[in-house]
Amino acid sequence: MKKTLFAIAMSAVALVSMSCAKSSDSKASAEDQAFNDSLAMVLGRGQGAMLNQNMDQLPADERAKFEKKSFLRGFKEVIMADTSDVAYQYGVQIGLGFARQIKALYAEGVDINRAELIRYFSQAFLQDSVNSTQLGMDMNEMQRLMGRVQEKSQARQMEAAQAQQAAREAEATENEAKGAEFVAAQVKADPSIKTTESGLAYKVNQAGTGATPTETSKVTVHYTGKLIDGTVFDSSVERGEPATFGVTEVVPGFGEGLKLMNKGAKYTLYIPANLAYGNNAAGSIPPGSTLIFDVEVLDITE
């Protein structure tokens, strides 16, 4: 299992910490120096390669903007820092935490003035004593303001969802109209295509024999599912293996078509969106799509 970038970075820190746990003489022997150089080489080369290998684990939006030179600049600044200065290390860690929080707030539409934050932080941090009353008031106010951030975020998410829903419905309406027009043209061109009361259109390519399936039947079929532009979205034929399922385990139009068929029958089913996935997208199937299935019934069992 791949490690995350953070986990790899932490493993590198752990290795460096172990190697630095014991102090060494300022004047290392040639043997010790060779060992130290070898460790620096394999540690740097190994961890660098592991991070490079796992770049694809970054979120897509961050990976698109990731500059390796910028990463190395930050990496070098931290590696070359005075690790004996504990206060500086804490400052780096807490500053990075603040930076991540500010970035998260920016994603929610809140643009924090970093210079002002640093100014107020420094004033409070450098005071000789803490005013507990003021601290309590600030904590309450911060909680209230963060509540407003959450409310705004939820409102934006709702607006985005509504916009997506409207776009999906508009796309579905357009696709339904195109599908209906397509099927009508097929029926007009081929009088052998029949239409049921529900709106399912079907063409008998080959008649079968025996009984037709019921609601409780399982059927074994070969099928190819297409959109009206000919795009194949699913096919047991291409997989080279027939499918077995219950008549009620498929979209309503497919199930209705199966109940018209018997063993050995080959039909083409034209399923309108209201008998398929409606306004919902399903994998590569756009919302409002009319589905076309070429179906051959191989077996029927109860």
pLDDT at 21: 42
d(CA 46, CA 69): 18
pTM value? 0.60
Lowest-confidence pick of 108-112, 228-232, 260-264: 108-112
| CATH code at position 281 | 3.10.50.40
pLDDT at 22: 44
- Give the pair of three-digit tokens for residue 62: 């961050």
Query: Would residue 45 count as lying in a domain?
Result: no
pLDDT at 238 over 50: yes
* Helix residue spans in the chain (DSSP H): 5-19, 30-53, 60-65, 68-79, 86-107, 114-125, 132-189, 236-239, 252-258
Query: Would residue 201 count as lying in a domain?
Result: yes
Once rounded to an integer, what is the mean pLDDT over residues 68-88? Answer: 86
Domain range enclosing 243: 179-301
pLDDT, averaged across the chain: 88
Query: Would residue 254 count as lying in a domain?
Result: yes
d(CA 102, CA 114): 8
- Contact between 276 and 290 under an 8 Å Cβ cutoff? The reply is yes
Once rounded to an integer, what is the mean pLDDT over residues 183-204? Answer: 97
Query: Would residue 221 count as lying in a domain?
Result: yes
pLDDT at 230 over 50: yes
pLDDT at 116 over 50: yes
8: confidence class by pLDDT, cuts 50, 70, 90: very low
pLDDT tens-place string over residues 117-141: 999 999 999 999 999 999 999 999 9
pLDDT at 18: 43
Once rounded to an integer, what is the mean pLDDT over residues 261-276? Answer: 97
225: β partners: 234, 293
* Residue carrying structure tokens 């039909």: 267
> How many domains, in total, are found in the chain?
1
Handedness of CA 176, 181, 184, 186 (dihedral sign): negative
- Residue 61: count of CB within 10 angstroms of its CB: 8
Query: Would residue 64 count as lying in a domain?
Result: no
Burial of 154 (0-12, 13-18, 19+ CB in 10 A): exposed
| Percentage of the residues of the chain whose pLDDT score is greater than 70 | 91
Annotate 117-130 with DSSP letters as a single string. HHHHHHHHHT-SS-
The number of C-alpha atoms within 13 Å of 258 and in the hemisphere containing its C-beta is 28
Task: Name every residue whose Cβ is closer than 8 Å to that of residue 47 and which is 6 or more positions away in sequence.
Answer: 8, 9, 11, 12, 15
Query: Would residue 126 count as lying in a domain?
Result: no
Once rounded to an integer, what is the mean pLDDT over residues 108-114? Answer: 88
Taking CA atoms, 146 is separated from 71, 105, 125, 267, 296, in Å, by: 31, 9, 22, 60, 60
pLDDT at 154: 92
Task: Name every residue whose Cβ is closer than 8 Å to that of residue 237 and which is 6 or more positions away in sequence.
Answer: 222, 223, 224
Task: Name every residue whose Cβ is closer than 8 Å to that of residue 170 and which is 6 or more positions away in sequence.
Answer: none
- Give the pair of three-digit tokens for residue 255: 């199930």
